[in-house]
């Protein structure tokens, strides 16, 4: 059983970027990570780490705090989280991963925006 949780915002953001760039099939194959800042330093309000785009159109921006990665979408999502490590804020415009495991949910949110 894994007892360690990744709760470093920069690392969560890096995991999210890796997940997105590793997807090659279906609509997620069109997704790209753009303007990535590998040296981003997390800030309390969230420092911009990268943009998420699909087929040339921006879907949202990812920022990192000390403990989270925040996906701010250009269009709100109807996604509602049932997990304690993922929250939805600002009327569905921001989805926040509070752990590395929450990255899979962020990927699902990106997939949902493509439909």
Assess if residue 14 is contained within a domain. yes
What mean pLDDT do residues 74-100 have?
Answer: 94
Range of the domain at 16: 9-113
Assess if residue 2 is contained within a domain. no
Assess if residue 3 is contained within a domain. no
Instruction: Tell me the C-alpha distance between 18 and 12, whole Å.
Output: 10
Q: What is the mean pLDDT of the chain?
A: 92
Assess if residue 82 is contained within a domain. yes
Assess if residue 32 is contained within a domain. yes
Instruction: Tell me the C-alpha distance between 87 and 83, whole Å.
Output: 8
What is the per-residue pLDDT for 6?
87
Assess if residue 1 is contained within a domain. no
Assess if residue 43 is contained within a domain. yes
**pLDDT digits 0-9 by tens, 14-58:** 999 999 998 877 888 999 999 999 999 999 999 999 999 998 899
Say which residues have a Cβ less than 8 Å from residue 99's Cβ, sequence separation at least 6: 5, 6, 7, 12, 85
Total number of domains constituting the chain? 1
């Amino acid at each position: 059983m894994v007892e360690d949780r990744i709760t470093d915002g920069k690392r969560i953001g890096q995991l999210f970027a890796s997940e997105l760039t590793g997807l090659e099939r279906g609509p997620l194959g069109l997704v790209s990570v753009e303007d990535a800042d590998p040296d981003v330093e997390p800030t309390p309000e969230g420092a911009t780490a990268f943009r998420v785009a699909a087929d040339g159109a921006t879907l949202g921006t990812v920022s990192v705090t000390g403990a989270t990665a925040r996906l701010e979408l250009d269009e709100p999502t109807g996604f509602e989280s049932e997990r304690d490590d993922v929250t939805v804020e600002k009327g569905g415009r921001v989805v926040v991963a509070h752990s590395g495991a929450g990255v899979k949910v962020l990927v699902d949110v990106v997939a949902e925006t493509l439909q």
